[in-house]
Amino acid sequence: MLRGEFTVKSVTAATGAQNKSYPDWLHRGVCAALSAMGVQQPYAHQVNAWNTLYDGENLVIATPTASGKTLCYNVPVAHALLSDDSARALYLFPTKALARDQESSVRKLLALCGLDAKAAVYDGDTPADVRRAAKKSANVIISNPDMLHAGILPHHAGWAQFFSRLRYVVVDELHQYRGVFGSHVANVFRRLDRICRFYGARPKYVGCSATIGNPGELAKKILGHPVRTISQSGAPTGKKTFLMYNPEVVDPVMGTRASAFRTAAKLAADLVQRDITTLVFCQTRRGVEIVLHYLRDRVRVEGDVQEVIRGYRGGYLPNLRREIESDLRDGRLKAVVATNALELGIDVGELDAVLLAGYPGTIAATHQRAGRAGRRQHPSLSVLIARSTPMDQFLAHHPAYLLEASPEQALVQPDNVEILLSHLRCAAFELPFGDVECFGTVLVTDSQAALSVLADEGILKKSGERFHYVANGYPAADVNIRVTMAQNVVVYNMTDNEPLADVAAHSARFELHEGAIYQHEGSTFEVTRFDPANAKAFVQPVAPVYYTTAVDQTRINLLQERRHRDIASSTLFCGDVEVLENVVGFKKIRFKTHENLGYGDLSLPPLTMETEALWLRFHPSITQSFNPATAALALDGIADALLQVASLRLMCDPRDIALSVQTAVPEGGQQTHWQPVVYIYDTHEGGVGLSERAFDEMELLLNDAMALVNGCPCDEGCPVCIGPPVSKDQTGVKDAARTILALLMGSARLGNEVCN
Amino acid sequence: MSRLQGKLARRRKRTETDKAQDAGVYENSHKEMEAYQLDVASGTPDLIGTTDEMAGVDPQPRDSGTLAETAGGSKSEIIAQLQRRMEKIQRKKVKAFGTKNRPSAPMGAPSITPMGTMIDQHSPIEPASPKSDRAKEVVESPHQDISTHGLEGPLELTLHKDALIPGEVMDTPMGEVWRNRKRYPGWFHGNGAVDRYLAVGLSMAAFAKDDRLAQLAPEGALFIDTETTGLSSGAGTLAFLVGCGFFEDGVFMVEQYFCREPVEEPAQLEALSHRLANAQYLVSFNGKSFDMPLINTRYILNRMKNPGYNLPHLDLLHVCRRIFKRRLSDRSLQNLERVILGFHRQGDIQGALIPEAYRDYLFGHGEAQIAAILEHNLLDIVALAALAGRLDEIYSDPAAVAHAADHLGLAKEAFLAGETEIGDLHLAAADDMADGDDRRIALHMQAREALRRKAYGQAVTLYHRVLEIDEADVDAHLQLAKLYEHRLKDFDLALHHAKEAAALEGEAAGERRVLRIEKKKVKKGLRKW
| Nearest residue of chain A to residue B62 (CA atoms) | A458
Tell me whether residues A449 and B4 touch, CB distance under 8 A. yes
Q: List pLDDT tens digits, range A709-718.
A: 887 777 787 7
pLDDT for A206 beyond 90: yes
pLDDT at residue A328, as a whole number? 84
The distance of A666 to chain B (nearest Cα, Å) reads 29
- The answer to whether A736 and A631 are in contact (CB under 8 A) is yes
Q: Which stretch of A55-59, A428-432, A745-749 has the lowest confidence by average pLDDT?
A: A745-749
Contacts B5 to A, Cβ<8 Å: 445-446, 449
Q: List pLDDT tens digits, range A578-611.
A: 998 888 889 887 776 667 788 888 888 888 888 8
pLDDT for A688 beyond 50: yes
| Nearest residue of chain B to residue A464 (CA atoms) | B263
What pLDDT band is residue A545 in, cutting at 50, 70 and 90? Answer: confident
The distance of B315 to chain A (nearest Cα, Å) reads 21
Q: List pLDDT tens digits, range B89-132.
A: 445 445 444 433 333 333 333 333 333 333 333 433 443 444 33
pLDDT at residue B524, as a whole number? 66
Contacts B363 to A, Cβ<8 Å: 458, 461
A428, A456, A471: residue with CB nearest B81: A456
Segment 573-632 of chain A within 8 Å of chain B by CB: 576, 610
pLDDT at residue B206, as a whole number? 82
Contacts A458 to B, Cβ<8 Å: 58, 60, 62, 359, 363
pLDDT at residue A345, as a whole number? 62
Q: List pLDDT tens digits, range A147-196.
A: 999 999 999 999 999 999 999 999 999 988 988 889 999 999 999 999 99
B6, B296, B362: residue with CB nearest A461: B362
Q: Is B268 touching A (CB cutoff 8 A)?
A: no
Instruction: Give the Cα separation of A293 and A287 in Å (integer).
Output: 10
pLDDT above 90 covers what percent of chain B? 33
Q: Is A668 left (phi over 0), alpha (psi -120 to 50) or beta?
A: left
Instruction: Give the Cα separation of A133 and B480 in Å (integer).
Output: 44
Segment 281-320 of chain A within 8 Å of chain B by CB: none
- At B256, the amino acid letter reads Q
Q: Which stretch of A23-27, A90-94, A612-616, B408-412 has the lowest confidence by average pLDDT?
A: B408-412
Tell me whether residues A430 and B236 touch, CB distance under 8 A. yes
What pLDDT band is residue A564 in, cutting at 50, 70 and 90? Answer: very high
pLDDT for B3 beyond 80: no
pLDDT for A512 beyond 60: yes
Sort B411 into a burial class: Cβ within 10 Å, 0-12 / 13-18 / 19+: buried
Q: List pLDDT tens digits, range A381-398.
A: 999 999 887 778 878 877
Instruction: Select from A641, A689, A680, A626 the least CA-distant residue to A658.
Output: A680
B56, B78, B359: residue with CB nearest A470: B359
Average pLDDT of the residues of chain B = 74
Q: Which CATH number fits domain A489-544: 2.40.50, 1.10.20, 3.30.1390, 2.40.10?
A: 2.40.10
Q: Is A116 touching B (CB cutoff 8 A)?
A: no
Tell me whether residues A432 and B235 touch, CB distance under 8 A. no
Instruction: Select from A596, A591, A599 the least CA-distant residue to A519.
Output: A591
What pLDDT band is residue A204 in, cutting at 50, 70 and 90? Answer: very high
Q: Is the dihedral of CA A493, A494, A499, A501 positive or negative?
A: positive
pLDDT at residue B20, as a whole number? 61
pLDDT at residue A533, as a whole number? 81
Q: List pLDDT tens digits, range B72-97.
A: 333 333 233 333 334 444 454 454 44
Q: List pLDDT tens digits, range B330-343.
A: 888 999 999 999 99
| pTM for this entry | 0.76
Question: Which architecture, in CATH terms, is B125-396?
Answer: 2-Layer Sandwich (3.30)
Q: Is B57 helix (H, G, I), strand (E, B) or coil?
A: coil
CA distance from start to end of chain B: 110
What pLDDT band is residue A220 in, cutting at 50, 70 and 90? Answer: very high
Tell me whether residues A469 and B236 touch, CB distance under 8 A. yes
The CATH code for residues A5-10+237-403 is 3.40.50.300
Most B-contacting residue of A418, A456, A692 (CB-CB within 10 A), to test interface: A456
Q: Is A27 touching B (CB cutoff 8 A)?
A: no
Q: Give the β-pairing of A256-257 and A140-143.
A: unpaired
pLDDT at residue B76, as a whole number? 32
Q: List pLDDT tens digits, range A334-353.
A: 899 998 777 666 667 678 89
| Nearest residue of chain A to residue B359 (CA atoms) | A470
pLDDT for B390 beyond 70: yes
- The answer to whether B459 and B451 are in contact (CB under 8 A) is yes
pLDDT above 90 covers what percent of chain A? 35
Q: Is B13 touching A (CB cutoff 8 A)?
A: no
Q: Is A485 touching B (CB cutoff 8 A)?
A: no
Q: Is B52 touching A (CB cutoff 8 A)?
A: no
Most B-contacting residue of A447, A461, A470 (CB-CB within 10 A), to test interface: A470
Instruction: Select from B362, B361, B356, B369 the least CA-distant residue to B48.
Output: B356
Q: Is B99 touching A (CB cutoff 8 A)?
A: no
| Nearest residue of chain B to residue A442 (CA atoms) | B4
Please, what's the b/e burial string for A30-66 (b: 16 or more CB within 10 A of its CB; e: otherwise)?
bbebbeeeebeebbbbbbbbbbbbeeeebbbbbbbbb
Q: Is B356 touching A (CB cutoff 8 A)?
A: yes
Segment 135-174 of chain A within 8 Å of chain B by CB: 154-158, 160
The distance of A533 to chain B (nearest Cα, Å) reads 16
pLDDT at residue A483, as a whole number? 65
Most confident of A192-206, A378-392, A446-460, B462-476: A192-206
pLDDT at residue A73, as a whole number? 96
Instruction: Select from A353, A265, A361, A363 the least CA-distant residue to A311.
Output: A265
Global ipTM: 0.77
pLDDT at residue B156, as a whole number? 36
The distance of B294 to chain A (nearest Cα, Å) reads 10
Q: List pLDDT tens digits, range B263-292.
A: 999 999 999 999 999 999 999 999 999 999
Q: Is A438 touching B (CB cutoff 8 A)?
A: no
Q: List pLDDT tens digits, range A285-299.
A: 778 888 888 898 888
pLDDT at residue B180, as a whole number? 96
pLDDT at residue B509, as a whole number? 64
Average pLDDT of the residues of chain A = 85
Tell me whether residues B8 and A472 touch, CB distance under 8 A. no
Q: What is the CA radius of gyration of chain A?
A: 27
- The answer to whether A536 and A492 are in contact (CB under 8 A) is yes
pLDDT at residue A435, as a whole number? 86
Q: Give the β-pairing of A546-552 and A536-541.
A: unpaired
**What's the CATH superfamily of B434-528?**
Tetratricopeptide repeat domain (1.25.40.10)
Contacts B355 to A, Cβ<8 Å: 472
Most A-contacting residue of B2, B4, B66, B354 (CB-CB within 10 A), to test interface: B4
Tell me whether residues B297 and A158 touch, CB distance under 8 A. yes
Q: List pLDDT tens digits, range B303-357.
A: 999 999 989 999 999 999 888 888 888 888 999 999 999 999 988 999 889 999 9
Instruction: Select from A570, A661, A672, A667 the least CA-distant residue to A628.
Output: A672
The CATH code for residues A17-230 is 3.40.50.300
Q: List pLDDT tens digits, range A227-259.
A: 999 999 898 888 889 999 999 888 776 667 888
A415, A468, A472: residue with CB nearest B4: A415
pLDDT for A481 beyond 80: yes
- The answer to whether A15 and A239 are in contact (CB under 8 A) is no
Sort A17 into a burial class: Cβ within 10 Å, 0-12 / 13-18 / 19+: middle
Domain boundaries, chain B: 13-97, 125-396, 434-528
Q: How much is the average pLDDT of A455-479?
A: 90
Instruction: Give the Cα separation of B79 and B85 in Å (integer).
Output: 10
Instruction: Select from A505, A527, A507, A528 the least CA-distant residue to A518.
Output: A527
- The answer to whether B360 and B54 are in contact (CB under 8 A) is no
Q: Which stretch of A162-166, A408-412, A560-564, B11-15 has the lowest confidence by average pLDDT?
A: B11-15
pLDDT for A672 beyond 90: no
DSSP code at position A532: G
What pLDDT band is residue B162 in, cutting at 50, 70 and 90? Answer: low
pLDDT at residue B71, as a whole number? 37
**Distances B185 to B194, B202, B249 between C-alpha atoms, Å:** 9, 24, 10
Contacts A432 to B, Cβ<8 Å: 262
pLDDT at residue B60, as a whole number? 38
Q: Which residue has the higher pLDDT, B29 or B234?
A: B234
B60, B230, B263: residue with CB nearest A473: B230
Instruction: Give the Cα separation of A291 and B450 in Å (integer).
Output: 69
Contacts A429 to B, Cβ<8 Å: 234-236
Tell me whether residues B355 and A472 touch, CB distance under 8 A. yes
Q: How much is the average pLDDT of A489-510?
A: 80
Q: Is A108 helix (H, G, I), strand (E, B) or coil?
A: helix
pLDDT at residue B106, as a whole number? 37
